[in-house]
Amino acid sequence: MTAVAGHSDVTRVGDAAHEIARTHDPRDVTDYIGACFDAGLSWVHFPEGLGGLGVSRGLQAVADSILQAAGAPDARIRNLIGYGMAAPTVCEHAQTDELKHAWLRPLATGEEVWCQLFSEPGAGSDLAGLATSAVRDGDDWVVNGQKVWTTLAHRARWALLLARTDPDAPKHKGLTYFVVDMHAPGVSTRPLRQMTGHAEFNEVYLDGVRIPDRHRLGAVGAGWRVAMTTLMNERTSIGASGSRRGEGTIADAVALWAQRPDRHSPVLRDRLAQLWLRSEVQRLTAERAHATATAEGPGPEGSIGKLVGAELNQQIYEFCMDLLGPEGTLYGDYTMREIGPESVNSGESIQQSFLRSRANTIEGGTSEVLRNVLGERMLGLPGDVRTDSGPWREVPRG
């Protein structure tokens, strides 16, 4: 992109954002966000007419800062999976522009929430080993199976589904990607209660659910490649970090330290210093990754953030529990209730955050898998001996 073209794109995005800010009332949330979609400001790098302007992704920040300053409602928080994962996948792989538009606009406004039907009781880290089947029947596919760890399934209108269409192919080759209507007959959703007492996730049962073939994303058997679009965008959204020194989880530990002077000891002080140090250096590493990614392409420093952050979160809340002593053995309220992703990070109490942090080293890639990724992709170490390269049907499961 030439400097001149880049400059005109900046102007274009800026002008569009200022126009919305001037002509729309942020209190009418759906209208406001819908106008943003129509003006191409939902995902500026998407094509025109599909919520974008076909400009560089980096210019999203230009639109966002203008809209935020004008008091615009936060569209993404209403549909996190929709914005971060569904939209890029639908935009790239849906079969027609009509479908893309029909899905993307209500996704953008939050009128239709999206969720993701990937993990299964028998397919966690080994996602490509999943067993939910989709069998062709005329113009439809008939789906049977069980999905789990589905955020927002109870609120969702649409879901991204990865299902097995060829059990005789090797596991990565027999998958196909669909969009499922969560209101279709045969879809049932049950809250999945977790150790905090809350239900942040759901189990979803698919019992003879019919999906029209035009709701297939990508070719039959190409589901794994399409899923990579979704998962790459998940990594990008999890990996983003821009906090300042002392912010984030470590702020809880430092504040609790200040609140409980009677519990101070030299041993706990050094543990807190270690946690503060690691938080700070993780922050610096994210900053370095950001500075060098633009110049030299992404390096290993960008891949370690999730692994470090997850383990650090756990260690920080373990420290908090040790600092609290007997007080930490009390709890607030185990009454079962369903919560959305917007309230996950605003823990009700240290004790609840402590329990929630156990999921950090499991969700979004277990620490064990991430260490394999670092070892194999970053260091080039050989993979483990495989016992699952034959037809999926013959791979031991359980």
Partner 1 sequence: MADQTAIRPSVDPHGADPHGADPDTPTAGGTIETPPGAEPFTFTPEHRELRAAVRRFCADTSDEATVRRLMESTPAFDPQTWSRLGRELGVLGLGVPEDLGGSGGGLVDAAIVAEEFGAALFCGPVIGTVALAIPALAAAGDSAARTETLTPLLAGDRTAAFAVRERAGRFDPGSVTVRASGSGGDHLTGIVTQVVDAGVADDLLVAASVPGGVALYVVDATATGVERTALATLDQTRPQATIRFREAPGRLLAGPDDTPRVVQRALDSGAVLLAAEQVGGAQHLLDVSVTYAKERLQFGRPIGSFQAVKHRLADMLVEVEHARSAAYYAAWAVQDGIDDPTLAASIAQATCSPAFTGAAAGAVQVHGGIGFTWEHPAHLYFKRAFTDAVLLGSAEEHRDAIATAVLADAPIEHEVMVAAG
Instruction: List contacts with partner 1 (CB under 8 A).
Output: 246, 251-252, 254-259, 269-270, 272-274, 276-278, 280-282, 284-285, 287-288, 291-292, 295, 300-301, 304, 307-308, 320, 324, 327-328, 330-332, 347-352, 368, 370-372, 374-376, 378-385
To partner 1, the closest distance from the beta carbon of 250 in angstroms equals: 10
Nearest-angstrom CA–CA distance, 30 and 75: 9
Do 158 and 112 contact (CB within 8 A), yes or no? Answer: yes
> Dihedrals φ, ψ of 374, to 5°?
-60, -45
Q: Contact, 236 vs 362, CB < 8 A?
A: no
Tokens matching residue 77: 């928080």
Q: Which residues contact residue 253 at a Cβ distance below 8 angstroms, ignoring those fewer than 6 apart?
A: 272, 275, 276, 316, 319, 320, 323
Determine the Cα–Cα distance for residues 338 and 358; give it in Å rounded to an integer.
Answer: 19
Shortest spacing between CB 278 and partner 1, in angstroms: 8
3 state DSSP class of 200: coil
198-225 burial, b at 16+ Cβ within 10 Å, e below that, comes to: bbbbbbbbbeebbbeeebbbbebebbbe
Element of type H or E holding 294: helix 266-296
Residue placing its CB nearer to partner 1 in the complex, 12 or 225:
12
Q: What is the DSSP string of 56-117?
A: -GGGHHHHHHHHHHTT---SGGGSHHIIIIIHHHHHHH-S-HHHHHHHHHHHHHTSSEEEEE
Residue appearing with tokens 């230009």 = 62
- We find the least distance from the C-beta atom of residue 324 to partner 1, in angstroms, to be 6
What minimum distance in Å lies between the beta carbon of 78 and partner 1?
Answer: 25
Minimal distance, residue 281 CB to partner 1, in Å: 5
Minimum distance between the CB of residue 55 and partner 1, rounded to whole angstroms? Answer: 17
Please choose, from the candidates 26, 28, 49, 29, the residue with its C-alpha nearest in 3D space to the C-alpha of residue 37.
49
Q: Which C-beta is closer to partner 1: that of 181 or that of 348? A: 348
Shortest reach from residue 331's CB to partner 1, in Å:
5
Of 112, 120, 200, 234, the active-site residue reads: 234
Q: CB-wise, 5 or 251, nearer to partner 1?
A: 251
Question: 219 vs 251, which CB is nearer to partner 1?
Answer: 251
Q: Which is nearer to partner 1, 214 or 371 (CB)?
A: 371
Among residues 164, 92, 99, 87, which one has the least CA distance to residue 131? 164
Token pair of 204 as six digits:
């979803």
**Residue 234 annotated as catalytic:** yes
φ and ψ at residue 31, rounded to 5 degrees: -60, -45
Q: Given the complex with partner 1, which of 19 and 348 has the nearer CB atom?
A: 348
Q: Which is nearer to partner 1, 61 or 135 (CB)?
A: 61
Rounded Cα gap, residues 153 and 188, in angstroms: 9
Distance of closest approach, residue 254 Cβ to partner 1, in angstroms: 5
Length of the chain measured in residues: 398
Hey, CA dihedral for 359, 301, 81, 366, is it positive or negative? negative
Residue number with CB closer to partner 1 (14 or 221): 14
Residues designated catalytic: 234
